Structures are given as structure tokens and as C-alpha cells.
Chain A
Amino acid sequence: MNSNDDIKIEEIINSDKLQYHEKRANLAREAENLLSYVDVSDQVKSAMKSGILHDMNEGNRPYRPRYILPDYKKFLEQGSAYLNIEPPKDFYEAVNALLILYRYVPSITGYPVYVGQIDDCLEPFADTVTPIELEKLMRMLLINIDRTLPSAFVHMNIGPKETRVGRLVIQLERELKKTIPNVSLKYDPDITPDDFAKYAIESALDVIKPYFVNHRLMSSQLGDDYGVVSCYNTLRIGGGAHTLCRINLKEISKSAENYNDFKENKLKDAVIALAELTNAKTKYLVEKSRFFESSFLANEGIIDLEKFTTMPAVYGLYECVEILSGEKMGHSEMANSMAEEIVKLFYDYIKSEPAVYCGGTEGKHGVHAQSNIDTDVDVTPGVRIKYGEEPGVFDHMLLSSKLHKYFDTGCSDIYVFEETAKGNIDGMLEIIKGAIKNGIRILSVNCESSEFIRITGYLVKKKDIERYFNGGLLREDSVVLGAESLMPGHLLDRKVKGLNGSVSK
């Protein structure tokens, strides 16, 4: 240990800003990083150094998967020997069992990124209590999640069927106006009743929750047992993602002599490095840290290594296209087709690289569009259009739909509507149906008057951002992330969709 490490560790221990559990998490990270990095080639090291390849600061020696999606339903059916929990017999016991298990689900943040397909988990118990008890218990569950798992990457799923539990989640989240958990509604126009979809839209325009997930598209790629976790990652239930590393398309394009050089050489080299790093971390996690051998979740079948995969990702497509073509995505046919060509090429390249422990996506790497972290400057998340540069909303959606289909482990766009949308939910439903029909994978509709704002991939309260900049103490780690990513990403410039037409003719 050198004296630099001493100082860092002392700083953490003596901080008057960090809570105890935050100190503990930071100390664990420092301890992990005292060891050398997992073994990688010089090519990988130099790609990381030049900013082309980025490991998301996951740490030097992975010892838990980045994202885990426990099969909560199975857990409720079988109980857990390790936790000494019998299969629950009523709603009370089921909620209690879930709350216990949440505390044992690791992830890169230390908090579970997935708290379950809650309607499938709890609806079977709904008849064991009165409607008043049902609402009370759901309220307690949601408040408990918000207070004990203070990370805006915590994600809950409902739908596509309408259930009492699903409806209560929407109703209560709208009423409680809290950030956690994120809620995604799996939406299929043939299964989800219009009335339920409209109920969800009204809520989304108010509190941004739920997001709408293209259930037909998702289930055709991952099967019905998929979940949406963290910031729009789509993975199999009972599985998860070992790691997420990403390449910066903007940086790659800067290193290319021309478009051909980009396609034939530079992108290819970056993908090779990306795959190598991804495999090295995954192998370390599985074979050296032996997570799947030691975890009771794996031993009891609540997770299954076979259902896990990796999530090599891209970001900065917007700038990449701008550099290579001199034109702007969303505003030029040429830029749009270049964007699609690049995404398809990335898909083909990464799918043909060797992959380890990727049973969750048929033995090949998962493909992901990463929606930025707080330290990114002047680079647009994933394959989105730069904030403030979006074209008309339908042109935007048509472009998204061409790009989204390649990202089987997740890709999303945010569409912001004016407040008048609240007065025309039927119209909003038409737009969402159009988006789903055209192959948009996940969409979140936001209203400009909403109290919440979606930072690149997660959700924070506008009030909390103000509080952060005024030096107040915050409970949620992601609010801190959010407030900082506001600055570099210019998020508040985001274009308001809808109309600004005449109010009187």
C-alpha cells in the first residue's frame, strides 16, 4: 500500500459528508482496487487510455455481477433454506419475504437493480387480504423500497396484463411522488387494455412513471421472462449481466482517417478490445471470484448462470455521425442511414466475437446502447440524438425505431411532451401505439411540467437537484449522480415535444 492509498482511505473514513454505509461501500471499492487490474492485453490497455474503451469504473476485480434479476416468483414459491423462509401463504408473508430478499441481492451499486415483476409475484396472494389491506400493504412495500434501497437504478416491472397489483403500483407511485423504484410497464396493445394503458399514460405525464416497454419486441428476442432493470437494461429473469463495458463512438471516429477506415479498421479494433475486456472480467467473476458457486441465490436456483450475459455497449453515436458525415442525425437522410449502418456493423462485429457465459443471449454477447454516466462531457448517450437537436417527434421516433432493434439488452429514448398532452390521453395512446408498432424498444414520456426529470438513464426530483446545488444532504446516491450529470449533458435543454401552435386561431 502506498501513501496515496492511505490518504484516500483516511479521507473516506474521516469524511463528514458520507453516511456509514456509504463509507463502507467506498472502502470496499478501495480495497478491491488495491489489487491489480484483471489480465488484459496491451491493446485493451491502450484503448482504455485513449478514451475509446471504458470499463464504467466497475472495479479491478469483479466479485458480483453488475446486474442481477432474481427469480422472485420462484423464491416465493419455494422459500429459501439459506434465509430460513417458508413459502409465503398470504400477502403479508409474501411482502415480508420480498423485503428480506431485497437486502441480499448484490449489484454494482450495492442495491438491487431489480425488485421484480411485482404483479406476477404478488397478484396470486391478492385474494388473501381485503382491498383496503391490499392497498396498505402495497403502499408499505413501495415506501420501504424507496427508503431502504436509495438508488434510482432500482427498477420494478408490471404488465402487460392488467392486475390489481399493477394498477396499485401506478396509483401509489403517482400519489407518493417519490423517485424509487423506477417502474416499467410491459405494453402489448393486444394484451394491455386501452383503459389500463391510458391510466399509465396519465401517470407518466405526471410523474414519468411508468415507462412503456415494447413487450412483443422484447419477448420475441429474450422470451417472456425478461425484466427491465437499472436504466433501461433488458435481461432475462433469473439471469442478469456480468459486466457492462462500452466504446465511445465519438472517440473512435476521431481516430479514423475516413468513413471506410472507421468501418473496416477502427470500429473493428475497438470491438475486439471491448469483447476482450468483457470476457476477461466475466471469466474473473465466474471462475476466480466464484460468485456463482458461493452465492445462495445461485445454489437455491433463484439465479442461474445459464441465464446471464454480458452487455458490451456503444455511446456517442450522434457525435460520431456528425464527425464522419458532417451532417446531423435526425436532420439528414444521409446521417440517418450512416447511423443505422454503424449500429448494424457494431451488432455484427460484437455478435461474432467470442463470448463467455452468455447463455442469456444464446451464447453471444448482448448488445447495449449505454445512456451515459455523470463524468461524460460533450458526448450523447447511447444512440440518442443530442439534447435540443431532436427533429419533429415522429421523425425522431421513426429514426429511433430503426436503431433500437439491434440492442437486445436495452436501448431507450425520452420524448418530452408539452403540458397540453395531459388533456388528450387518447392522442397520447395513439402516439405510443405508433411508437410500439414501429419497433421502439422502450420509451419514456415526460411532460415538461413534471416534478421529475430523467437524467440520462434514471430519475430525480427537480427539487432535489436544487437542494444538491444548495449544499443539502441527500439520501439517494443517484441524485448526486443526477445533479452532476445535469451539467455536462446539458439535459435541461431537452426539446419539448408537441405543439407550440396557436392557442386561439
Chain B
Amino acid sequence: MEASVNRIIQSSLVDGPGSRTVIFMQGCNMSCLYCHNPETQNASPKAKHYSLEELFDLIEKHQDFIEGVTFSGGECTLQHEFIIAFYKLLHERTKLTLFLDTNGLVSSDIMIDLINHSDGLMIDLKAFSQDCHRALTYTDNSAVKENIRLAAQSGKLHEVRLTLVEDFNDDPDELSAYFDFVLALPGDTRLKIIPYSPFGVKGSFGHKRAYPKEKYDLLVAMGQRILKDRVLKVWYNWRK
């Protein structure tokens, strides 16, 4: 069994709890307009292939420095068999944890299997209304919402992630429905709100400006009124 990997970042402090190594899997089942890793979307001759043992060896030698690994992408759930096998290996031989960073677009059977073979999940809900989700990703979000509910029920949902794109998914009505959805989830599911940034984005969206700070603060405040401290803020100081 082999994984197709776009790249590995040894040290990340933003992909789940603690210090983690992130494995960006090759291939995706969405085509988001604002994708920051468009090179991961399709199969690519540049992708590296790792057997379970090869990947394990890479991770194991750094185990003193990390709390675990995060599979990201691309869309990691497309390679669920590898991930599940890797989870077993990791738990058998180390104390490291395995997290998934996923767009949630996967059948519920596979999602349940992945929930059982991971320690935590970060799931994107890229837009609340079906229209908006389609416009942004060319896919439906009903499965995504269902999978978020499943993950929340299991207690392993680390956070839901929303990237705010100006004039796309930041309409107040759209957002208030989004916040209500998160509020109704079982457990204290947290919502991370990320401002859009144009870096690395290809196509028409590459010309879109970075999300303005005042608007971001306003919408975060709106989220906090509904979700209280379950809203997580991320602000990148691009203009250093």
C-alpha cells in the first residue's frame, strides 16, 4: 500500500493541537476557487509515494518533537485505506496522535471508519447554503454537514473551519445560519474563522484582496454572540 504525497512539513503549529508534522496528500475531490494548494488537486507526476513503513520511519525519528501527525491535502480521505493502516501502525508503536484535516466530502461509511481510526478531525464547511457551496467548490455540502454531525457525535471533532471570502460566503444571513448549525452540534464544537488571503491562489481568485480586518472583526463578533468562546480567531499579519 502506498500514499501519494504532495509534500511533508516537519513542523507545523497550526494544524491541530500541539506540535505536528503535516502530510499533504495528493488529489482532491473539490475544486475550490480559493484553493491555496491547487497543485494538490489532481494526480501529479511530482507526487512522492511512500509505503507505510517509509512514512512511519520519517515520523518516528522526530517523535520527541511532536504530539502527532496531521493528514491534510488535497483531500486526505481519498486515501482512507492508507490512513487507517497508518493509524494502526502509529498507535501500535508510538504515543503519537493522528489528526485529519478534511473537506468532509466522503461517504458516511468511510467517515465512520476514519473517525474510529483517528484521534481528531478538523473539517471544513466552506459555505452554509447549497448554492454558495456549489459556487465556491463545484460540489454539494449535504454530505459534509452530515459528516460534521457524525464527527461531533463521536467527540473527536477538533474544530470546524470556515474561510471567509469577501462577497462570497460572508453574507450575514448565510453566516447566521452557519453559526446556528454549529451551535446545534453535539458537544462544544469550536469554529475556526479564517480570513481569505490571496497567496498561492491561482485563477480569478488570485486577484481578490485579502479579507479586510474590520469586516473580519465584525463577523467574528457576530459569531461570538451566538457561539461565545467556541469561536477561534486567526489573524495573519500579512502587511509586515
A positions within 8 Å CB-CB of B: 392-395, 397-398, 417-421, 423-424, 426-428, 430-431, 433-435, 437-438, 449, 497-505
Contact = CB atoms under 8 A, between A and B. Distances in A.
B170 interface: no
B197 to A, nearest CB: 6
Q: Which 4 A-B pairs have the closest CB atoms?
A: A434-B65, A392-B10, A504-B163, A434-B64
A392 B13 contact: no
Counting chain B CB atoms within 10 Å of each CB, the highest count among A394, A424, A426, A430 belongs to A394
Nearest to A417: B13
Contacts of B122: 505
Contact of A419 (B24, B161, B237): B237
A499 B18 contact: no
A427 B10 contact: no
Interface in B195-240: 196-197, 199, 234, 236-237, 240
23 contacts: A394-B65, A395-B62, A398-B61, A398-B62, A418-B13, A424-B13, A426-B17, A427-B19, A427-B20, A428-B19, A431-B11, A434-B65, A449-B237, A498-B12, A499-B11, A499-B14, A500-B9, A501-B9, A502-B24, A503-B194, A504-B34, A504-B36, A505-B161
Nearest to B192: A504
B26 interface: no
Nearest to A500: B9
Contacts of A438: 64
Contacts of A394: 10-11, 21, 61-62, 65-66
Contact of B11 (A392, A419, A437, A502): A392
Counting chain A CB atoms within 10 Å of each CB, the highest count among B10, B161, B236 belongs to B10
Nearest to B76: A505
Contact of A505 (B12, B102, B234, B240): B102
A397 B65 contact: yes
Given A427-B67, A449-B240, A501-B22, 9 more contacts: A392-B10, A430-B19, A430-B65, A431-B19, A433-B64, A501-B14, A501-B72, A502-B24, A502-B36
B133 to A, nearest CB: 14
Contacts of A504: 34, 36, 124, 161, 163, 194, 196
B4 interface: no
A145 B72 CA distance: 49
A177 B216 CA distance: 30
Given A397-B65, A497-B11, A503 B17 contact: no
A502 B18 CA distance: 17
Nearest to B74: A505
A435 B65 contact: yes
Query: Looking at chain B, what size class is its interface with the partner chain?
Result: 35 or more
A427 B65 CA distance: 9
Interface in B65-100: 65-67, 72-73
Contacts of A449: 237, 240
A457 to B, nearest CB: 24
A81 B73 CA distance: 70
Contacts of A423: 13-14, 234
B187 to A, nearest CB: 21
A421 B13 CA distance: 6
A426 B18 contact: yes
Contact of B197 (A420, A426, A499, A503): A503
A368 B17 CA distance: 38
A443 to B, nearest CB: 12
Contacts of A424: 13-14, 18-19
B15 interface: yes
A402 to B, nearest CB: 13
Contact of B15 (A397, A431, A434, A501): A501
Interface in B97-139: 101-103, 122, 124
Contacts of A435: 65
Contacts of A420: 13-14
B32 to A, nearest CB: 8
B144 to A, nearest CB: 12
A499 B66 contact: no
A505 B13 contact: no
A505 B34 CA distance: 9
Contacts of A393: 10-11, 65
A192 to B, nearest CB: 17
A500 B196 CA distance: 15
Contacts of A398: 61-62
A501 B73 CA distance: 10
Given A419-B237, A498-B11, A505 B62 contact: no
B37 interface: yes
A475 B68 CA distance: 47
Contacts of B101: 505
A174 B36 CA distance: 35
A392 B194 CA distance: 26
A495 to B, nearest CB: 12
A409 to B, nearest CB: 26
Counting chain A CB atoms within 10 Å of each CB, the highest count among B14, B73, B196, B197 belongs to B14
Contacts of A501: 9, 12, 14-15, 22, 24, 37, 72
Nearest to B196: A504
B72 A505 contact: yes
Contacts of A500: 9
B117 to A, nearest CB: 20
Interface string B18-58: 11111010000000001011000000000000000000000
Contacts of B196: 504
A198 to B, nearest CB: 12
B218 to A, nearest CB: 20
Nearest to B21: A394
B35 to A, nearest CB: 8
B13 A428 contact: yes
B22 A499 contact: yes
Nearest to B201: A504
A152 to B, nearest CB: 24
Nearest to B123: A505
Given A398-B61, A427-B19, A435-B65, A499 B234 contact: no
A505 B11 contact: no
A427 B10 CA distance: 13
Contacts of B237: 419, 449
Counting chain A CB atoms within 10 Å of each CB, the highest count among B19, B34, B61, B236 belongs to B19
B22 to A, nearest CB: 6
A106 B18 CA distance: 45
A502 B163 CA distance: 11
Nearest to A430: B19
